[in-house]
Amino acid sequence: MAEYDVVVVGGGPAGLAASFYALQAQLSVALVSPSLGGKVSYPFALRGLPAVDTVWGADLVQQFEAHVEAKVRAYFPQEAKSVVLLPGGGFQVALDDSDLIGAKTLILCTGAQPQRLYVEGEKEFFGRGVSFSAISHAPLVRNRNVAVIGGERALSAVLKLAPLASRVYYVLAHIKELTGSFAANQVLRNPKVYLFKDWEVQRIVGDEFVTGLDLVGINGETRTLPAEGVFVEFGLLPNNELVRDLVELDNEGHIMINQRCETSTPGLFAAGDVTNTYAEQVPVAIGEGVKAALSAWSYLAANG
C-alpha cells in the first residue's frame, strides 16, 4: 500500500488549495477526487450577465488546478469509498477500484450538496437563474425580480437580496408561518418583499434563462411570478459520510474544526463547505484549504 504525507479527498477550491500548499511544502501528496474544480465548475448566469464574471476566485482555483495536475505525485480520479483510522496512527483510504492508499495526514474537502426543491425546471435552469446560494449570488441580481423559496433559514437570503433586487417574492416552504424573530419582522416590514405563505411551487419556467415560477394555492388557484432569479434556500447537506464516525459533527452534520482546520481526530483536517466554517464562498474555501495544508505540515513536523 502506497503511503503519502498528505492525502486530500475532494478536488474543489478547498482541496486544490490544500494540495497546492502541501506540494509547496515538499510533502508527498495524493489527491482523490472524480473531478476537479468543484463549485467553480457550476457558475451562475442571468440574461445579459455572462457566467464568466460571476464566480469570484475562479481564476485562482484554475491556477491551483493546473499546478496540482502537473506536480501532484498521485492523482486518483475516483471516489474515496471509506476511511479507516489505523491503530498505529495515520489513515487507510479505500478507493472506487478497491485500491488502498495510506495517509500520514488526511485533509477532507468533500463539500456539501444543496437541499433541493425537486420541482420541474429546478435542475434544468440550475446556473441559468436557479441558485442554491444567495450569499454567493445576491450581488448579481441588482434591479431584477427574484424569488426565494424556503423556510425560516431563508430569511437571511431574503434580507441579503432585498436591498439589491427590484422585488423579492418569498415563498414559504415546509412551514406555514414565520416566527416573531427580529429577522422575520424586518422581512415583513420591507416594502420590496412579497410573502406567499399558502402557495406551493409547481415549476420553474423560462426559455434560455429563468423567467418565473408557477405557484398553486391551497384552493387550487394558480399564479405565475415573474422572476429572473430563483433561490432555493433549504441549506446544505455536508458530505461527511467518509468520516462521520471519526470526528465531531455539529447539529447539521458539518465537521467541527478549530481555527487550524483540525478536527477532533489528530492528523485529520477538514476544509470548505463540509465544515462548520461560515459562508459557502470560493475565497473562503481557498483560505481554509491553505490553513489545512499548513496545519498538516506542522503536524507532520511535530509527529513524524
Residue-level length of the chain: 304
Between 105 and 97, where is the model more confident?
Answer: 105
Average pLDDT rounded to a whole number, residues 31-42: 81
How much is the pLDDT for 98?
A: 86
Q: Enter the CATH code of domain 2-113+236-303.
A: 3.50.50.60
User: SS3 for 206?
Assistant: strand
Residue 244's pLDDT is what?
A: 96
For 43-62, what is the mean pLDDT?
Answer: 67
| Measured CA distances, 112 to 101, 235, 236, 253, 272 (Å) | 24, 10, 6, 10, 9
Cα–Cα distance measured from residue 229 to residue 257, given in angstroms and rounded to the nearest whole number: 34
Contact criterion met (CB below 8 Å) for 61 and 15:
no
pLDDT of 277: 92
For the stretch 124-177, pLDDT in tens is 999 899 999 898 888 889 999 999 999 888 999 999 999 999 999 999 987 777
Q: What is the pTM of this model?
A: 0.88
Residue 296 has pLDDT above 50, yes or no: yes
* Domain 116-232, architecture per CATH: 3-Layer(bba) Sandwich (3.50)
Domain range list for the chain: 2-113+236-303, 116-232
Q: Please tell me the predicted confidence (pLDDT) of residue 261.
A: 98
Give the least confident one: 33-37, 121-125, 140-144: 33-37
Mean pLDDT, residues 200-227 taken together:
95
Burial class (CB in 10 A: 0-12, 13-18, 19+), 189: exposed
Burial of 69 (0-12, 13-18, 19+ CB in 10 A): middle
Q: How far is CA 270 from CA 70, 113, 174, 254, 274, in A?
A: 24, 16, 31, 10, 8
Average pLDDT of the segment spanning 221-237: 95
- What is the per-residue pLDDT for 53? 47
pLDDT > 90 fraction of the chain, expressed in percent and rounded: 72
58-62, 80-84, 135-139: least confident range: 58-62
Helices (H), 85-233: 134-137, 155-161, 182-189
pLDDT of 59 reads 72
Q: Is the pLDDT of residue 194 over 70?
A: yes
pLDDT of residue 56: 62
Contact 247, 263 (CB under 8 A): yes
Q: Which of these, 202, 205, 233, lies nearest to 220 by C-alpha position? A: 202
Identical fold, 2-113+236-303 and 116-232: yes
Q: Residue 65: pLDDT band by 50, 70, 90 thresholds?
A: confident
Among the residue ranges 37-41, 288-292, 298-302, the one predicted with the least confidence is 37-41
Per-residue pLDDT, 44:
76
Q: What is the pLDDT of residue 47?
A: 79
Residue 28, C-alpha cell as written in the block: 508527498
Handedness of CA 132, 137, 138, 140 (dihedral sign): negative
**Arithmetic mean of pLDDT, 202-221:** 95
Evaluate if residue 52 carries a pLDDT over 60: no
- The set of residues, in sequence order, having a beta carbon less than 8 Å from that of 157 and lying 6+ positions away, is 134, 135, 138, 148, 150, 231, 233
Nearby residues of 294 by Cβ (< 8 Å), 6 or more positions away: 21, 25
| Parallel, antiparallel or unpaired: strands 210-217 and 199-206 | antiparallel
How many whole angstroms separate alpha carbon 130 and alpha carbon 148?
10
